[in-house]
Structure 1
Amino acid sequence: MLYNHMEDSMSRTLLPLSLFTALMGGTALAEVPRVAADIAPVHSLVARVMDGIGTPDLIVQPGGSPHEYSLRPSEAEALQEADLVFWVSPDLTPWLGDAIVTLATNASVTELLEAEGTIELEMREGALFEVHEHGEDEHEGADHEGEDHADHTEDEHEEHDDHAEEEAGHEGHDDHGAHDPHAWLSPLNAATWLNVIASQLSAADPENAGAYFANAATGRAELDKLTIDINDMLEPVRGGQFIVFHDAYQYFESAFEFIASGAISISDASDPSPARIAEIRARIAAEGIDCVLAEPQFNAGLVATVMDGTEAATGILDPLGSNLEPGLALYPQLMRNLASTLVECL
């Protein structure tokens, strides 16, 4: 009888224990949303917001090109089961839009490039980057220069003609909209997106809203420190000139006021034209460019061709963090790696 009484008492205390956990704010009974993110840097920001609550799924695996990617069964399943999907834009992953429509039929989808507060920069078309390309002062004064203005206009037409061959055979470029999609390389955009991600997760999972917003606040503080650290890293080499493999770093350049001199390719979805390569080589020779940067996924032979006969150093920039472990630590490490590569090369 005593044994039966003890057993009955224990059975009555087990149920209140689980109820007590739930009432005290535990997540044992909470249904954490299934979340999918397109690329590793976005996945890292989502993981930062979900830290301690859940783990997002990554669609484009490390080493894959966002522009051209074939879904594996596990990635297709992640989209099918997703309650929320975060992606940059169809300009970055033109194939993913159809996959989301087809597979993520029950998901709330957030296109981060269109999120309120996101800084958007226009695509740069030319091989060479000049500060005045983003300003209007010269355009305002040019009308007063008469013949000089006409000559400048003719030069612009000639430059566009030089790129005609490149653009004509470049379907990847046609996929791009007016804005550069590599917006995650701005820490200000990353901070904005942390709030957007927290808001969307909180709407889907109100029980954990406080934790999502607390994680986002921690992430923004980390980004503030990251920005200070990177500025400190770059300070000794400011004034150095560098060429990038493809024009993916404009947001990083703008955020840290460290502008590249040009890009070998307009996009990672195409090879550059001979005219574009000639422009880059001429600038390296004329201005003594310090550094020409490759990328891990793309044609190293093009970089060698551009550098042939020059004294420029070389390094590897990776805007996706392909060699890093996916997770909340990836984004800050990716940004620090970009800065340290520039410092070492310059």
Structure 2
Amino acid sequence: MRRVVSSALAFLAFGLLPLTTYASSVSVLTTIKPISLIAKDIVGDHADVKQLLPNGASPHNYALKPSDLRSIDQADLLIWVGPEMELFLQKIASRHDKALQLTAIEGFPLRYYGEQENHEDHDHDHDHDHDHDHDSHDHDGEHSSHHHNHTGIDGHIWLGPQQGITIAKAITERMVNIDADNADYYRKNLDRFINGVHQTTQKIKTELSAYNEQGYFVFHDAYGYFEEAFGLKQSGHFTVDPDRKPGARTLVTIREALVKNKARCVFTEPQFNDSFIQSVSKHTKAKIVTLDPLATNISKDDGRYQAFLSALGGKFVECFDQ
């Protein structure tokens, strides 16, 4: 390394190389912004965190570009959720030792979508065990032919604090292997991350404890990990897959629940057109608030994953607090 630095400096003397050449750090590539936030909290300034998908792009329907393939080749570590979320990466990631598939981490606290579906009763209690029954409102077979089906693993793993910590531990382990010289630095960051997430989780729990019985509808069924962590019970969702419009019957069912004040909140998402949410909520008392599961507006500075969880919690409070 020292020889590289001195030759780089020799070049610098002649003005031939940009200043950054000798500060070659590890290159970490994540697929989506929330995973970038966790990675950045662990690697700090000792590695370069880049993101494959543009902010706000949905991993459900992304298509790889040639420049993406170059980025993947150049990365020392590629972090992706798994085929449940980024199906477009499955072939490439399986060929790379440097790929870290989060849903494949041993002992990962995964949720599974319920196999049975309950359409009629929006008031019933969800029991919060692993196979818990999800109110799926896709009567019109919206997801029957789509790869992002509604059984098996729920891929939105970054939305649960416990899951966030598991992701951070896995990233730390990989970084220690890739860059052993800085192992202590990564481990210290991990400790700080875990403490910070625990504190944030307690704070959000306190803020949301008053609203555990409140009904609400979400745009797509992405929030199970967050809901489980904070004792929230959704009344249902407009769509299982954000790329598909909800069926007419789903909209009627949700409209009826809103008219009867069974749900006081409807959450939309910035990534998708929500005109049907606006029309279904019209002339009801329901409040419409935007939830951003992809952390689009959170900066990548220190402690940002906690900021992301807090922002989500804050949106629930904003909606319920009427």
**TM-score (norm. length: structure 2):** 0.82
Residues 138-175 of structure 1: per-residue CA shift (max 9 Å, x gap)? x9xxxxxxxxxxxxxxxxxxx9997253233x51433x
Go from structure 1 to structure 2 and tell me whether the alpha carbon gap of 1:164 and 1:106 turns closer, same or farther (over 3 Å shift).
closer
Go from structure 1 to structure 2 and tell me whether the alpha carbon gap of 1:97 and 1:312 turns closer, same or farther (over 3 Å shift).
same
After TM superposition, the structure 1 = structure 2 runs for residues 1-346 of structure 1, keeping only pairs within 5 Å, are 32-72=25-65, 74-100=67-93, 107-124=97-114, 130-132=124-126, 134=128, 163-168=139-144, 170-174=145-149, 178-346=152-320
User: Which residue type is aligned with residue 121 of structure 1?
Assistant: R
TM-aligned CA deviation for residue 203 of structure 1: 1.1
Whether the aligned pair in 1 keeps the contact of 2:42 and 2:193 (CA below 8 Å) is yes
Number of residues paired by the alignment? 296
TM-aligned CA deviation for residue 234 of structure 1: 1.6
User: Which residue type is aligned with residue 117 of structure 1?
Assistant: G
Whether the aligned pair in 1 keeps the contact of 2:161 and 2:197 (CA below 8 Å) is yes
TM-aligned CA deviation for residue 133 of structure 1: 5.5
TM-aligned CA deviation for residue 200 of structure 1: 0.9
User: Which residue type is aligned with residue 224 of structure 1?
Assistant: H
Go from structure 1 to structure 2 and tell me whether the alpha carbon gap of 1:327 and 1:87 turns closer, same or farther (over 3 Å shift).
farther
User: Which residue type is aligned with residue 34 of structure 1?
Assistant: S
TM-aligned CA deviation for residue 88 of structure 1: 0.7
User: Which residue type is aligned with residue 104 of structure 2?
Assistant: E
1:218 aligned counterpart, secondary structure: helix
TM-aligned CA deviation for residue 244 of structure 1: 0.7
Percent same amino acid at aligned positions? Answer: 27
Q: Which moved more, 1:326-335 or 1:193-202?
A: 326-335
TM-aligned CA deviation for residue 107 of structure 1: 4.5
**TM-score (norm. length: structure 1):** 0.77
Go from structure 1 to structure 2 and tell me whether the alpha carbon gap of 1:133 and 1:239 turns closer, same or farther (over 3 Å shift).
closer
Go from structure 1 to structure 2 and tell me whether the alpha carbon gap of 1:33 and 1:135 turns closer, same or farther (over 3 Å shift).
closer
TM-aligned CA deviation for residue 232 of structure 1: 2.2
Computed over aligned residues only, the root mean square deviation of the Cα atoms, in angstroms, reads 2.9
Go from structure 1 to structure 2 and tell me whether the alpha carbon gap of 1:114 and 1:130 turns closer, same or farther (over 3 Å shift).
farther
Gaps of 5+ in 2: 1-5, 10-20
TM-aligned CA deviation for residue 322 of structure 1: 1.2
User: Which residue type is aligned with residue 143 of structure 2?
Assistant: E
Gaps of 5+ in 1: 1-14, 19-27, 140-158
Higher helix proportion, which one? Answer: 1
* Aligned counterparts of 1:130 and 1:207: Cα–Cα separation in 2: 54
TM-aligned CA deviation for residue 182 of structure 1: 0.6
* Aligned counterparts of 2:302 and 2:65: Cα–Cα separation in 1: 23
